[in-house]
Amino acid sequence: MAFSSLNEFLAMGGHGPYVWAAWGVTALLMLVIVWHARHERRQLLRGVKRRVRRENAHRDALQRGAVAHSPTAQVPVNSVQGDVRNDA
């Protein structure tokens, strides 16, 4: 071990602010990156689930014949296609 006490470790031989600033920013940025990846994944899963639920509900409604002849029947399906950028 290169240090004999906690205070010595924190002081880093007078270079404390520099060492801790570099390490701190690195650690913080990497934690933010990991958090962002998790957050993004949850949001996406939630979005897909919501979409599936909405479409299932719509399909059930169609089967019951409630909106079968309505001109708006296709709208939810179109909206699903609509907000996806073209992947030609």
Partner 1 sequence: MWAFINKLRSPKWFYAISTKLQPWFWAVAALLLVVGTVWGLVFAPADYQQGNSFRIIYVHVPAAFLAQSIFVSMAVSGVVFMVWKIKVADMAAAVMAPLGAAMTFIALFSGAVWGVPTWGTWWMWDARLTSMLILLFLYLGVIALRGAFSSRDSGSRAASVLAMVGVINIPIIKYSVDWWYTLHQPATFTITGRAAMPMEMWLPLLIMVLGFYCFFIALTLTRTRSEILRREVNKRWVRELVEEAS
The first and second tokens of residue 57, run together, are 């509900």
Pair 76, 54: CB distance under 8 Å: yes
Interface pick for partner 1 out of 48, 67, 68, 75 (rule CB under 8 A): 48
Interface pick for partner 1 out of 4, 5, 7, 15 (rule CB under 8 A): 15
85 three-class SS: coil
Question: How big, in percent rounded to 5, are the helix, strand and coil portions of the chain?
Answer: 80, 0, 20
Smallest distance from partner 1 to CB 69, Å: 26
Q: For binding to partner 1 (CB under 8 A), which residues are involved?
A: 1-3, 9, 12-15, 18-19, 21-23, 25-26, 29-30, 33-34, 37, 40-41, 44-45, 47-49, 51-52, 80-81, 84-88
